[in-house]
Amino acid sequence: MTPSQVPTLSYVFAVCRGGGPTASAERPAERLAEGLAELPGLGTGTPVRTLPAGPLTAVVQDVPAAGFGEEALRRRLSDRAELERCARAHHAVITAASALAPTVPLPLATLYLDDRRVQEALDERQTSFLTALDRIAGRAEWGVKVYAPTGPPPAPEAPSTDGPGSGRAYLDRVRTRRQSREQRHTQSLRAAERVDTAVRGLAVAARRLRPHGVEVTGKHRTHVLNAAYLLDLGRERELRAALASLRHDETDIQIELSGPWAPYSFADAGTTP
């Protein structure tokens, strides 16, 4: 069997509108295809290419069926190093496409039996893809995370045995520490809401994401806000200025900004501010 006869699947990274970065481009489809052709993609030895589907264009790559079939894919994605490699490759293609055209990212390991199945799937979801592309055109996603420092845990304190009231005093100290922690956490949540309100005022859409657990944040801080915001291009300076002001005012929390990203969080309807 020659390499061209090796059974393949169609891996889809993203969907663009007709391949065009701008309506005024002379040959938008060709520009998009040329901009992606040199990317290694998933490293299968085949080029990343564009696939027209009516008013939409899919960004695809042929991958060997033996390496990306259901069972092989399960093994591949259960390997942490391989999962990270695939995720980075997937993101690199989406980032490159986003630099050329409004791009709806698709989830990692979006696979179809062949190009015809890809085109059928895009045709079925044409309206939702076009709506999403309208929403993200001229915009980028930014991530904002807010953390509440917790500090190291207090050293354990044994109850005193001096006097009949010593046990009660110990319980009072434990209760006071607990109430203090709860009060600080409540204050951090309120501060995070103020951050969210300020950034939503600059955004056209926003999405609250699940906060990370201690395995990601570490033991000495709590993740109290994890949010994505869709902003018009050109508002980065306003965003950074707003967060700088919030960092000055909200001294009990830590604010982190990331982006701009391809609009992963707004590939569907999203939420309005």
Question: pLDDT value at position 217?
Answer: 79
Task: Using DSSP, state whether 255 is helix, strand or coil.
Answer: strand
Amino acid at 35: G
Mean pLDDT per 10-residue section of the chain, whose length is 273 residues: 74 84 52 86 94 95 95 93 96 94 94 97 95 94 93 54 62 67 81 97 96 81 95 97 96 95 81 42
Q: Are 221 and 215 in contact (CB under 8 A)?
A: no
Question: pLDDT value at position 185?
Answer: 74
Task: Using DSSP, state whether 172 is helix, strand or coil.
Answer: helix
Q: What is the CATH T-level fold of the domain 139-266, as seen in this structure?
A: Alpha-Beta Plaits (3.30.70)
C-alpha distances out from residue 118 to 50, 57, 59, 114, 121, Å: 11, 10, 10, 7, 5
Domain segments of the chain as ranges: 3-136, 139-266
Question: pLDDT value at position 19?
Answer: 46
| Torsion, CA 158, CA 161, CA 164, CA 165, rounded to 10 | -30
Task: Using DSSP, state whether 146 is helix, strand or coil.
Answer: strand
Task: Using DSSP, state whether 154 is helix, strand or coil.
Answer: coil
Q: How far apart are CA 39 and CA 63, in angstroms?
A: 14
pTM here?
A: 0.79
Amino acid at 195: V
